[in-house]
Homo-oligomer: A and B are copies of this chain.
Amino acid sequence: MVDTRFAVSVHFMTALAYRQPELLSSEQLAKGVKTNPSFIRKLVVPLAAAGLVESVRGKAGGIRLARKPKDISLAQIYEAVMDTALIAIPGKTPEKECVISCGIGGILCKISKEIEVNTLKVLARRSLQDVLAEIAP
């Protein structure tokens, strides 16, 4: 039930913002978040694809932000790492004889979309810089 991808991403990206322009390893980031480095690396893939972090290979390599913290909104982080709807809709074929079963999917999807749009609005109001400023002013 618990999907911590967004929270963990915000956490380690705030650490990257704090330590800019240092390159940090997934091991270092995992230590602060108290997770394992492979989970960090898994999250780095979509975040890098979205142009929010970059991964530098090699011995002196590591992870850093690809933009200034003020140019990264929490909505962008959310959209990069979350592929599941906040309100999960069972993906089953409706029971054909049941009028409710046939009609409910569309309505639930509409409501889920509405919640998603609202959530992104809330998250778009905050940048990584805002988060960092609240922790380390």
Task: Name A's B-contacting residues (CB within 8 A).
Answer: 1-4, 6-8, 10-11, 14-15, 18, 31-35, 74, 84, 86-90, 92-95, 98-104, 107-108, 111, 114-115, 118-119, 121-123, 126, 131, 134-136
Contact = CB atoms under 8 A, between A and B. Distances in A.
A6 B95 contact: no
Given A10-B108, A88-B7, A107-B135, A18 B99 contact: yes
Contact of A14 (B34, B100, B121, B123): B100
Q: How many copies does the complex hold?
A: 2
A48 B84 CA distance: 29
Contact of A18 (B3, B100, B114, B115): B100
Given A10-B104, A32-B101, A111-B122, A3 B88 contact: yes
